[in-house]
Amino acid sequence: TYKASFNRPNLYYEVRTKTKNIESDIIRFIKLHKGKSGIIYCLSRKKVEAIAEVLQVNGISAVPY
């Protein structure tokens, strides 16, 4: 077992208010940060797969995990 603090100075966390246009918001955010990497957390595997597909259709490299 590996135990570590959640305090990770090399990571930037951002929580955003969910809007009615969440998919468009995510795409816009990613395009503003071109060349960067990130993680999108969802409440279900089904939603993770759906968001990954939306990103892929919009030319954004994404893999559901």
Q: Calculate mean pLDDT across residues 20-32.
A: 96
The interaxial angle of helices 45-57 and 22-32, nearest 10 deg, is 60
* Residue with tokens 């077992």, as numbered in its chain: 1
Q: Calculate mean pLDDT across residues 34-49.
A: 94
CA distances in angstroms from 62 to 1, 6, 9, 34, listed in the order given: 29, 25, 25, 13
Q: Which pLDDT score is estimated for 36?
A: 92
- pTM: predicted TM-score of the whole model, two decimal places: 0.78
